[in-house]
Every structure is written in structure tokens, then in C-alpha cells.
Structure 1
Amino acid sequence: MINYIIKRLLALIPILIGVAIIVFLIVHLIPGDPAQTMLGERATDAALERLREQMGLNDPLPVQFWRYVKDLLRGDFGRSIMSNNPVSTELAQRFPATLELSFFAMLFAVLVGVPAGIFASIKQNSWFDNMSMMIALIGVSMPIFWLGLMFIWLFAVELGWFPPSSRIGVGLEFVPITNLYVIDSIIQQNFAAFKNVLHHLVLPAVALGTIPMAIIARMTRSSMLEVLKKDYIRTAFAKGLKKKMVIFKHALKNAMVPIITVVGLQFGVLLGGAVMTETIFSWPGLGKYLVDAIYARDFPIVQGGILFFAGVFVIVNLIVDLSYALVDPRIQYE
């Protein structure tokens, strides 16, 4: 298994190089001038030219890219054009918010999608099966920006059940430690903050988790239906085993590999694709920060953020691959 992990990690290198090349070219070929953004519209031509020279923007693209690669090899993602802070620091400050939102969105998706898929497979062609799959189809088809706006309008504006934005209420005594607010509130035994943080998480997490929930439900149903047709399942029923034991101990366990695959892939997508949700709910995560960086032509932030997401996605997929052996001992890694 160690050799397999090393091979997968080494395979990460060409992937990140390819991502770095593509992102670098796209970012530098889109219209806009970072120097103009920093100095404003009233800046003189001399001031703009001086700043471009200081930032190396006047150098040819191959020279700029080679300088960027050398910095990456040293673990230096550069400095933000707008704040002049190290990109790694900016990403580290905002990633916990994205991680926390993605985790609870996936928790919602799994807790709803897996049971729905299981019961839909048991009650195949019943009203529950048809209704759950219709809801799943609607969930997959629904645009996240529209769903988020409808959630805010209905549950925040009209009913007032949940706050429309931000991670925590104003005025609460709370000092972040890890920037994972749920964990920080538990560490500090600040149950008022814990309740408030969860209250703020509900709308964005449910909105973000709706599409993964629908995909997981459909995959669970499909995988369970395939397993329930196997001979060993019919044998288990013929031996008189209880239905719950056959479904949850024998069928579900053997149907878990494709379900784990979908859960892992969707979690990686959530980590890198929460941009729309964070923007709608004003969630101070990495996705919203990248959108602001794109508008500000902050090249180092955009490049570093996308590279970071690419690395996280590959690592999540590696963890998913390794987890297969936990549910199916027949799988061996060499």
C-alpha cells in the first residue's frame, strides 16, 4: 500500500504542473491590468509603468512563468497584489470556512441520500421509489444560485427562521482558534456560539448539499438494486435471515464501493465548487475570495487558489481509493 500511495503522490506532480500552466496562461491572457487596479483610475502613466516593472509584469510570459515555477518549488505561492500578504497565509485563513461548509453539506447529502436510496431500492417501483427519484432528479437539475436565493427569500426574509448570510452572529463573544467555528466553539465550551454557528450553517449547507444528495441517492439505489439481485442475497433470504440483516449487513456492505466513490468525488467538487454558494450567502470562504481576486486581477491569489483546489481534489480521491479496502477486503493495493 505504501508503494501505491507514493505512486499516486508522484502522479500529482504532472497534474499540478499542467494545472499551473493552464491557469497561468488563462489568468495572464484575460483583459485587465493589476497595476491599474492597485493604483486606481487616476494613476499616472509613469506610476503605472513603474509598478508594472516592480511586479515583473513587463517581462515576457515565459520569463514570468519560469519565475512563478521557481517560487512554487520553494513553496512560495507569491504575495497578494491587493493585500501584499503571502498567498499561503490568505488561503490558510479562508480554507477552514470552505472546509466546514463543505463538510456539513456532504453530511446532509449522505444522511439524506443514502437512506433514501436504500429504501427506494427495497421498495422498487413503489410510490416512495418514484417520489424519491423524482425529487432526486429535481435536485440534480436545480441551479444552485436559484436555490440559494429561494432559501434566503423564504426561510430568512419571509419566515425569519435562519440568518441570510455570514458564519456567526454579531455581538457574540467568540475567539476563533482553528477558524473551524464549530470545533472552536466546542473547544471553548461556548455553547451559545456553537448553536449560533450551526444556525448560520443550515441554509448554505442544505443549498450546497442538495445536488450531491440527489446524486448519492440515485447511485445508492442503483448499486443496491444490482446487489439485491445476486445469488448470495437470495441464499441469505432462503436461510431465513432477517430482512434488516440481509439489507444492511450483506447487501449494503457490498454496494458501498460505488457509493464511496460518488461521496468522495462530490466532496472534492464541493471543496472546489462552493464559489456560487459562498457568494450568495456572503460566506467568507476560499471560493468567494477567489471570485473577489478575479475581479481585482490578483493573479497570485487566483493561481495559488486553483492549484490548492487541484491538490486537495487529488488527495481526496486518493483517500477514497484507500477506503475501498475497508469495505471490501478483496481489494489489494500493490
Structure 2
Amino acid sequence: MAFGKFLIRRLLQGVFVIWGVVTITFALRALSPGDPVNLIAGQVPDQSTRDQIRQDLGLDQPMYVQYFDYLGNLLTGNLGYSYNQRRAVNDIIAQHFAATVELAVAATVVAIVIAIPLGVVSATRRDQPADYAATLGSLVGISTPNFWLGIMLILIVAMQVGVFPTSGRGIAFHEAMYNLFRYGYVADLLSWLSYITLPAITLGTYFTALITRLTRSGMIDELGKPYVTATEAKGLPRTLVRYKHVLRNTLIPIITVLGLQLGTLMGGAVITEEVFNWPGLGQMFITSLRNGDWPVVQGIVLFIAVAFVLINILVDALYARLNPQVTDR
């Protein structure tokens, strides 16, 4: 019963957050300069045509009427119609969503593969050169701007060394996996890996540093607990104790942060996608913002907000199942 109340409370909070995002983006649209009719009509001088376009879009209505009409459309799943691309925003998001998810998940995998071993080494070799190197690397990773790192990777790794492509996506992950299992084409999967490696490293660098520091602090706390001394006193190998018991207990807060940061990575992929010309929601967001295509901008912001809220609710629910004391907060 307590878990049900906890889940309902989180859902209501999520609805309130999404409503706030919708209201703020709509207000920014209303306050932004420019006329959407100019984007649609172009150089058409006929005022009657322009007035008809304005009437068809509902732009001749008072702002509060437009706001409630927009809310009504959202409740039916209609995110609007792109002024620039002349198609539904739902279709645009569906087309670019997979690329953003691929990049966010790949960045998370990069962070996990690098950060957890570094954190373990740093904690088990405390105040030794390995610990100092891992701590310094974490500090550099947190302090490095993603756009600068991406440009450096393109200039040095892609252009000078010539190992990876400089931009683009090549092939979608699901297409590469389909060709692998259906026809045995390994080349498509390798092509996908070559295109996503540099963007994933760029996006996952900050996340890697964060997880490294979290793993280190969690391992140090666990290593100081009595059960570690007791298991080692029984004759269990130190490596087994550290990786089977200590690391497993440390992973609980790390998994929570991973779930929360996945939504952050989806929203933070905007700059990385623009640098690497990755055809995801971030690049489409920048392009639409430049063109003044506000229905697409609003749709992408709302979609990312909903994804972030749902991921947070899912993580909270899983954590509440693992630790029932959370439901009392």
C-alpha cells in the first residue's frame, strides 16, 4: 500500500513537471521574435494568403486560446505540425529518436566499462600513484567541455590518425543488427561502431568521471565495514571479497545514478550531435531553433522531458522496491 502511494505521488509530481515544461516552452515561443507565417509563406506578398495561413494555424487567436488548444492537442498525442518540413512533429521525433537513444546508451556503456574498473583500482590502491592518476583523470573529465573534446577528437583522431569517421551515422544500429543476424554481415556493425565511437566518448566523458568518483567513494565506504574484515579473516581471497561482495554492494547507488543520468545524457546530447553531425533529436533541435520552427522545438523539449521524468519514476520505483524505507520519505 505504501509503495502504491509512493508511486502515485511520483506520477503526480511528474505530471506537474511536464506541465511546467509545456508552459515555459509555450511562453518562450510567444515571446520569441519572428512570425511563423513568414517561414511558411516565404516571399508571398499576397496579404490575403498570409491571413489565411495565420487563420489556419490558429495564430489569429488570443494567446491563452492558443495555449489551451495546444494543451488539448497534447492530450490527444498531437505534437503539432512543422512549419519548415511540412510534416507532423510526431513523425520527425520518431525518425530521429533512435539515433539519440543509440548515442546515449553507447555513452553509458563507455562510462561503465571505463569508470567502474578505475574506481575499484582507485579505492583499493588508496593514496598510491594509481589512485592519484584516477582522481586526476576524473577531475579532467568533469572539467572538460564536451564540444571542445569532440572537436579535438575530430582533429586528432579522425583527421590526423584517420581511424574513425569525422561525422555522420553511417547505418542505424537496428539495421546493422538485422543484417548481422539475417545475412551474417559483420561489416555493417563495424561501420556503426566506427561512426559512434567518437561521439560516445565525447558524451560519456563527464559521465565516466562521475561514475569513477562515485565507485571510489562507495568502495572505500564498503571496505571499512566489519563484514569485509570478517570474510578476509575466514580465508577468502581478497580479490574475491572485493569484486563479489564489496563491489556488488557498491553498485546499488551506481545503478540509481546510471538510470538518472541516462535521461540527462539524452538531453545533453545536443552539443555532441551538432559537433559530429549525428542525426538525432539534438541536431534537429538546433536546426529547428535556427529556423524558428517552434512546433518542432516544443515537441523535442517535451519529448525529452517526458523521457527524463519516466526514467526518474522508474528508477525511484526500483529503488523503493529494493529499499522500502524510501516510500516513507
TM-score by length of 1: 0.90
Per-residue deviation, residues 224-280 of structure 1 (Å, max 9, x unmatched)? 111111122222222222112211222112212221122122211111110001001
Q: Which ranges of structure 1 fall in alignment gaps of 5 or more residues? A: 170-175
For the residues of structure 1 that align with 2:232 and 2:246, how far apart are their CA atoms?
11
Aligned counterpart, 1:83: 85
Q: Partner letter of residue 15 of structure 2?
A: I
**Contact 1:105 1:205 survives alignment (8 Å):** yes
Aligned counterpart, 1:172: none
Aligned counterpart, 1:294: 289
Aligned counterpart, 1:183: 177
Among 243, 253, 257, the alignment partner of 1:258 is 253
Greater fraction of residues in helix: 2
For the residues of structure 2 that align with 1:302 and 1:330, how far apart are their CA atoms?
39
Give the total of aligned pairs: 324
Change (3 A) 1:180 1:10: farther
The share of aligned pairs that are identical, in percent, is 37
**Contact 1:293 1:302 survives alignment (8 Å):** yes
For the residues of structure 1 that align with 2:126 and 2:176, how far apart are their CA atoms?
39
Change (3 A) 1:323 1:244: farther
Aligned counterpart, 1:271: 266
**Contact 2:39 2:83 survives alignment (8 Å):** no
User: What secondary structure sits across from 2:218 in the alignment?
Assistant: helix
Q: Which ranges of structure 2 fall in alignment gaps of 5 or more residues? A: none
Q: Partner letter of residue 200 of structure 2?
A: A
C-alpha deviation, 1:192, in angstroms? 1.7
Structural RMSD (CA): 2.1
Per-residue deviation, residues 187-227 of structure 1 (Å, max 9, x unmatched)? 44332211111111111111111110011101110111111
C-alpha deviation, 1:49, in angstroms? 3.6
In the alignment, does 2:204 pair up with 1:212?
Answer: no
C-alpha deviation, 1:132, in angstroms? 0.9
C-alpha deviation, 1:112, in angstroms? 0.3
Aligned counterpart, 2:115: 113
TM-score by length of 2: 0.91
Q: Partner letter of residue 43 of structure 1?
A: V
For the residues of structure 1 that align with 2:310 and 2:296, how far apart are their CA atoms?
21
Q: Partner letter of residue 276 of structure 2?
A: F
Aligned counterpart, 2:219: 224
Change (3 A) 1:329 1:37: closer
User: What secondary structure sits across from 2:86 in the alignment?
Assistant: coil
Alignment of 1:122-137 (within 5 A): 122-137=124-139
Change (3 A) 1:63 1:329: closer
